[in-house]
Structures are given as structure tokens and as C-alpha cells.
Structure 1
Amino acid sequence: MIDAKLPPLNALRAFEAAARHLSVKNAAEELCVTPGAVSQMLKVLEQHLGVRLFVRVNRGIFLTDAGRDYLPPVRNAFRQIVDASKRVAGSQDSGVLTVSATSFFASAWLVPRMASFRDAHPQIDLQVVTSNALVDFSRSGVDVAFRHGYGHYPGLRSDHVLAVAMAPVAAPSLVERLGLPASAAALVAWPKVQDADRKGWSLWLQANNLTEATLPTGPSFDDTALLQQAVLAGLGAGLLPAAMVAPEIEAGRLIQLAEETHIEAFAYYLVYPEATAEQPKISAFRQWVLEAIGSGVSRSHPR
């Protein structure tokens, strides 16, 4: 049951618009009503609350202290309504499914397979947006995301997609200074550029039966492209997907320091909110992804 003391919605809309523009006239134009109607709604709201929200100076309006305090929660409430409406509208089994992925993963894995998804689900249109940053599902409009990491994201469900070969690489300037390592063991002492979780190098060394004497050090990046740029700048050796750095190695801009290694836990995952996991279009995309990698069985990591 809605509380009878809730202010009129139209009055709240008029308040938010007038506070944003600091103009009754501009608020009226945005809301497609007359300035007199906006003024009346503001008066109703002030009477309802028992406080003044605006002061009128000549032909302008300004927020009172009460108005400034009231504006953020009102604005946030409208944003929550918009977000909730988007989620409800996007819950159908048709329409647009927005997929976030890194540029590398989108071009190397997703795009070449999209025709297969279209043939299997012609009622769902994929919209691919590229980003290296973690997605705020509540605000971005993204439905699912592919991310490279360890698959543990609070409040999200993730499915293991594939582990790619990781290659240790460095800029020629760094190799010239330190010399080409004779073996993987020589990399223990090298300066390193880290992933955001600082686990990639440790896992790579473990996979090669090596351990570091100290905890991993060096700058870290949550953006794979930035990590690659740091390696190119000579800040340290970096661990990057072999297919991603192959063109740089071929062009001589990077040098591979040791054999590439598959690290099963350090992989690409399909990530999506727990709250929307059972939406038909998300379920359809998830099932298609698992089938596309040759596995009908999910290795799911909730929360």
C-alpha cells in the first residue's frame, strides 16, 4: 500500500526540473506545461512538505537549504524508477541483448560466431559494446559481459568460457638492458607489469613449476590494452594473451620471453547479474556460448 503522505508525482517532477534548470520557464518547456502550472505544482509540494524549497529573486529562482537537501534523494528516486523500468522492459525473450566485451575478445571470438547466434535466435538482436572496465549492470544497460580474470565477482554469476594461452612479453628496450632470459626461471627476478588482481604472474610461474621469493610487485592495470601499453613502454615484462600480442611480436615491437602457457583459472568468463540470470534472452545467449565452446555443461561461479 502506498503511503498517503507521498508527495504528488507531478509535483516532484516539476521540482526536479525547476531545480535542475533554476528556471520555471525552462522546466515548463521540458514538461510540456505552462509556467503557471509548474509554479502551482511547486506551491503544492511546498505546502505538502511545510517548507520553502525555492526563493524568488526578481525573475529568477534559487534553491533554499531545504531544497538543496531534498534534490539528491528525489533525483535518485527518479533514476531508480528509470533503471527498474529498463530492467522490466528488457526481460522479454526477444529484442536487443547488449553484450559488453573487450575489443580483443569481441573481434577474435565473438564477432566471427555472431551469425550462428542470429541463425539460432533470429528474434534477439545482439548489440556489442567494447570496454575493458568492469560493467555497472544497474546503470549501463548492459545485459551480459565477457571479462578476463578469475570469475569471482560479488553479486554476479559467471560461466567459464575459455582459457587462452598467455605469453610473457617485454619491450625490446627492456630485453636489451636485461638480456634475453635463458629460461622461464630467469623471469622471477624481472620487473613485471601486473593485472589488477596481481595473480597472473604467480599463476604463470606456478604452472611452470616456479615460485617467486616475494609477493608480486610492479604497476597494475585493470585494462588489458593499458597493460600492453605499459609493457611497450618498457615498464616491465607483461603476461598477455598470446593471440593478442602476436602482431606486436611479428612486427618486432614486443619480444616473447618464454613459451606461452594455458592458465585454466585465469580465463574469459561470461558475467551477468544474479537477478536477471533467468531472463529468456540471457539464458538463450548463455546456452549458445557454452555450446559454441564445445561444452553443454556450465562451470558456474555464483557470487
Structure 2
Amino acid sequence: MPKQKAPRPPPIHYLLAFEASARHASFKSAAKELNVTPSAISQQIKSLEQHLGLTLFTRKARAIQLTAPGESFNRIAAQTIAHYQRGFSAFAQQYYSPIVKISMFSYVANEVVIPNLHTLRQALPNLDLLIETSMRVENLVNTDLDCAIRFGAPNWTDCQIELITPVKYNLLASKQYLADNPFDHLHNLGRQSLIHLRTDTNDWQQLVTDHNITPTNELFFNSYSAAIKAAEQGLGIAIGIFPSTDKTVRDGNLVAILPEHLPLDEAYYFVSRINDAKQINYDLLLEWLKNLFRTL
């Protein structure tokens, strides 16, 4: 005798009534949980059984009990509902949570943003900022990040881009380094120890090209924080970005070598994923960041 052909999957809305009934072993308790009448639950279970062509519950005077097919189907129903709830929780976190997850360089986080978080809490008490530090340019589309502070030229795609602040640069070194290694002109950079803040890009390329310099001593690091720390320790000259490095110079940890800061084509930008539900938080955070960098 040929086996009966399997039906199409039943309508999803039957799963809630079935799973609640199985969990409570009661149509009445399931109805109370789902805020419907017991007869409505009973009717949905009956329709589900008719659709499947199987008896899922044995009905007793004071309780119901899953049959063997009911036990099997309950595993499917419970897994489906749990998967939906987990997925919706992630969806709600992304689109409705007051938490804004932002990525930025560790130096910007440690020296600029975190020391001033108390002013953010005062200005925006309902916004929870979750900070992630990275030197990488994170693709917002493929991560759980909401936004990022990026340094560079705005050639990023699939995101909204807003200027936080233009920047300038200067050459920085410790007082002790300059005492041991006098610097009188850019042309003598070739005799200096040049500190690179990253390994994938030559930060000094424009300067050494413009002044026909051949560096003889270079140190490479993988973050701006490490490069600035190396300069503070007297290991050489680093390129400092302003206004984010203003405090380091004011505190006397480093000395600006050139008589004035020079403009850069790059800038600090606020980039965010397109998210209508969080847009107001993005706008408020951007305004706070603009004011923060303006007062450094």
C-alpha cells in the first residue's frame, strides 16, 4: 500500500496555539496565555490535525496529551517559534534599541570620546553608546555596527556620511628627542627616525616625495595610539592629527615641530547605516561629536 503523500506545511499561525497547548497540556491554559477563547484554540488544533491528517493530542477529561506524531511536530513548532523569537530580538535590537554601537580608532576613543562621555550622558540620557575600537574601516552592512567615526576621504559606499570636523597635521616629537636630534628643516627628515602609524599605508609618502628625502630609520606600528606613544617615549617623529591630538601637545607630552598646523585632504567623518528608527539618535550623536571636536 503506497504511503500517503505529505501535505504542504501548515499555516504558521497554527504553531502558536499548538505549542502553547503542548506546553501547558491544556487548551484552556493555552487560550489564557494567548488571550483567546478555549474554543478558538480547540478549533485551531482541529484544523491543524485535519491539515496534517494526524491526531496530535489525545483528549482526556481534565487534560490533553501529545501523541507520537504530536511529540514530533512539537519539536518542529518549538524550534520554529524559538528561532523566530531570537531573530526578532536581533531585529528589534538593530532597529528599536536605544543602544548605538559605534566603531572608532582606539586613540579617538581613549583620548577624545571616553573622557567626555559624561557630557553625552547629560545631554542624551536615553542614548546608550557601545564603543568598539578598530583601525579597520568596518563595512557597516556586514556587521552589527550602527555607525563609525572614520578618518579619511569620504569614498565609502552603502552608508550615510556626515562631516564631523576638518583636520590639520603637524610633526610631533618629545622634547628629549629633539634635544638629542636637532631638527631645523624638513630637508633633514632623512636623518630622523620616522614613526608610521600603520603598516598598510605610507603616512610619510607625500612629505618625503615633496622634499626628496630618503628615510634611513623608520618605525612601523599598527595604530595611531601606538605611534603617538612611541613618539612620547622619544623614539622618533610622528605625524599628529589635529584637533584630536591637541591635549597631548598642551600637556607637554609632545612638541609640535612645524610653526603651524598644515591642512589635510582627509577629515573625521560620521558614517551610519540607513536606519529610520535610529536616525534621530544618529543626528543627536553627530551633533554632540561636532561640538566635542570643536572644543578640543
Superposition TM-score, scaled by structure 1 size:
0.51
C-alpha displacement at 1:257, in angstroms? 1.2
Name the residue aligned to 2:197. 195
**Which digits, 9 at most, give the CA deviation of each residue in 1:168-225, with x for residues without a partner?**
111334323321x23455446533212335354456x49xxx8142588833434221
CA shift digits 1:17-53 (9 cap, x unpaired): xxxxxxxxxxxxxxxxxxxxxxxx9xxxxxxxxxxxx
Match of 1:255 in 2: 255
Q: Structure 1, residues 38-76: CA drift from partner, whole Å, max 9, x if none?
A: xxx9xxxxxxxxxxxxxxxxxxxxxxxxxxxxxxxxxxx
User: Which residue does 2:69 correspond to in 1?
Assistant: none
Q: Residues 221-300 of structure 1 correspond to what in structure 2 (within 5 A)?
A: 221-242=221-242, 244-249=244-249, 252-272=252-272, 276-281=273-278, 283-289=279-285, 291=287, 293=290
Q: Distance in 1 between matches of 2:157 and 2:204?
A: 23
* Alignment check: 8 A CA contact 1:99 1:128 kept: yes
The alpha-carbon distance between structure 1 residues 105 and 147, as it changes in their structure 2 partners (threshold 3 A), is farther
| Structure 1 range deviating more: 160-169 or 250-259 | 250-259
- Structure of higher CA gyration radius: 2
| Amino acid paired to 1:97 | V
Runs of 4+ aligned structure 1 residues displaced above 6 Å come to: 81-84
Would you say how many aligned residue pairs link Structure 1 and Structure 2? Answer: 206
Distance in 1 (CA, whole Å) between partners of 2:230 and 2:224 is 10
Hey, what's the Cα distance between the residues in 2 that align with 1:220 and 1:86? 43
SS at match of 1:175: helix
1:257-291, CA deviations, whole angstroms, 9 ceiling, x for partnerless residues?
Answer: 1134253433212133xxx423420x223433555
Q: Which residue of 2 aligns with 1:161?
A: 164
Q: 1:174 to 1:243 in 2, by over 3 A?
A: same
How has the CA–CA distance of structure 1 residues 265 and 158 changed in structure 2, closer, same or farther, with 3 Å as cutoff? farther
Amino acid of the structure 1 residue aligned with 2:275: E
SS in 2 for 1:271: strand
Q: For the residues of structure 2 that align with 1:188 and 1:223, how far apart are their CA atoms?
A: 23
Quote the Cα distance in structure 2 between the aligned partners of 1:139 and 1:86. 18
Paired residue secondary structure (1:266)? strand
Deviation at 1:150, TM superposition (A): 3.5
CA RMSD of aligned residues (A): 4.3
Distance 1:114 1:137, change over 3 A: same
Question: Structure 2: which amino acid aligns with 1:103?
Answer: N
Residue identity opposite 1:149 in structure 2: G
Residue in 2 aligned with 1:133? 135
| Structure 2 residue ranges without an equivalent (≥5) | 1-8, 10-71, 73-83, 292-296
